Protein backbone atom coordinates (compact mmCIF):
# COMPACT_ATOMS: atom_id res chain seq x y z
CA UNK A 1 0.00 0.00 0.00
CA UNK A 2 2.96 2.29 -0.48
CA UNK A 3 2.97 5.26 -2.80
CA UNK A 4 6.18 4.09 -4.53
CA UNK A 5 4.74 0.90 -6.03
CA UNK A 6 7.11 0.90 -9.01
CA UNK A 7 10.11 0.94 -6.64
CA UNK A 8 8.69 -2.11 -4.84
CA UNK A 9 8.26 -3.97 -8.13
CA UNK A 10 11.77 -3.13 -9.37
CA UNK A 11 13.16 -4.43 -6.07
CA UNK A 12 11.04 -7.59 -6.34
CA UNK A 13 12.45 -8.15 -9.82
CA UNK A 14 15.98 -7.67 -8.48
CA UNK A 15 15.72 -10.12 -5.58
CA UNK A 16 13.56 -12.87 -7.12
CA UNK A 17 15.24 -15.51 -9.22
CA UNK A 18 13.65 -16.66 -12.48
CA UNK A 19 10.55 -18.67 -11.67
CA UNK A 20 10.14 -16.93 -8.30
CA UNK A 21 6.64 -15.97 -7.17
CA UNK A 22 5.55 -12.39 -6.47
CA UNK A 23 2.38 -12.21 -4.38
CA UNK A 24 0.49 -8.91 -4.21
CA UNK A 25 -2.45 -8.03 -1.96
CA UNK A 26 -3.70 -4.52 -2.63
CA UNK A 27 -6.74 -2.48 -1.59
CA UNK A 28 -9.42 -2.81 -4.29
CA UNK A 29 -10.32 0.89 -4.26
CA UNK A 30 -6.83 1.79 -5.52
CA UNK A 31 -7.43 0.20 -8.94
CA UNK A 32 -8.89 1.95 -11.95
CA UNK A 33 -7.94 -0.72 -14.47
CA UNK A 34 -6.78 -4.17 -13.31
CA UNK A 35 -5.93 -5.26 -16.87
CA UNK A 36 -3.55 -2.33 -17.26
CA UNK A 37 -1.90 -3.22 -13.93
CA UNK A 38 -1.36 -6.83 -15.07
CA UNK A 39 0.02 -5.64 -18.43
CA UNK A 40 2.50 -3.30 -16.75
CA UNK A 41 3.74 -6.11 -14.52
CA UNK A 42 4.13 -8.19 -17.69
CA UNK A 43 6.38 -5.48 -19.13
CA UNK A 44 8.45 -5.70 -15.93
CA UNK A 45 9.04 -9.42 -16.49
CA UNK A 46 6.22 -10.96 -14.43
CA UNK A 47 3.64 -13.38 -15.84
CA UNK A 48 0.24 -13.59 -14.14
CA UNK A 49 -0.47 -16.93 -12.48
CA UNK A 50 -3.69 -16.05 -10.71
CA UNK A 51 -5.81 -13.10 -9.71
CA UNK A 52 -8.71 -12.83 -7.32
CA UNK A 53 -10.77 -9.67 -7.72
CA UNK A 54 -13.99 -11.09 -6.24
CA UNK A 55 -13.41 -9.47 -2.84
CA UNK A 56 -14.67 -5.89 -2.46
CA UNK A 57 -11.80 -4.86 -0.18
CA UNK A 58 -8.60 -6.54 -1.40
CA UNK A 59 -7.41 -7.86 -4.75
CA UNK A 60 -4.93 -10.73 -4.71
CA UNK A 61 -2.43 -11.44 -7.49
CA UNK A 62 0.24 -14.09 -8.00
CA UNK A 63 2.92 -13.48 -10.62
CA UNK A 64 5.89 -15.60 -11.72
CA UNK A 65 9.13 -13.89 -12.68
CA UNK A 66 9.66 -14.90 -16.30
CA UNK A 67 12.59 -12.64 -17.21
CA UNK A 68 14.95 -10.13 -15.67
CA UNK A 69 14.21 -6.43 -15.88
CA UNK A 70 15.94 -4.72 -18.78
CA UNK A 71 16.47 -0.99 -19.29
CA UNK A 72 15.62 0.55 -15.95
CA UNK A 73 15.57 4.00 -17.60
CA UNK A 74 12.45 3.09 -19.59
CA UNK A 75 10.17 1.95 -16.79
CA UNK A 76 6.43 2.33 -17.37
CA UNK A 77 4.37 4.76 -15.35
CA UNK A 78 2.47 2.95 -12.61
CA UNK A 79 0.33 4.73 -10.10
CA UNK A 80 -2.63 3.52 -8.10
CA UNK A 81 -5.34 5.71 -6.63
CA UNK A 82 -5.30 6.60 -2.92
CA UNK A 83 -7.15 4.21 -0.62
CA UNK A 84 -10.79 5.00 0.09
CA UNK A 85 -11.78 4.54 3.70
CA UNK A 86 -15.32 4.29 4.90
CA UNK A 87 -16.32 6.70 7.67
CA UNK A 88 -17.65 4.88 10.70
What domains sit in the chain, N to C, each tagged with a CATH number? 5-68 (3.40.50.150)
* pLDDT of amino acid 86: 63
Q: Compute the distance between CA of residue 88 and CA of residue 75 in angstroms, rounded to an integer.
A: 39
* pLDDT of amino acid 60: 96
* pLDDT of amino acid 81: 73
- What order do you get walking across the sheet with 21-27 strand by strand? 21-27, 58-65, 46-52
List, for residues 26-66, the tens digit of each pLDDT value: 888 888 899 999 998 998 999 999 999 998 889 999 999 99
State what percent of residues in the chain have pLDDT above 70.
86
What region does 19 belong to: left with phi over 0, alpha with psi -120 to 50, or beta? left
Amino acid sequence: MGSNLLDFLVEASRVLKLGGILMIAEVASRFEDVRSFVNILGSLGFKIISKDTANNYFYLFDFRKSRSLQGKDKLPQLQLKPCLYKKR
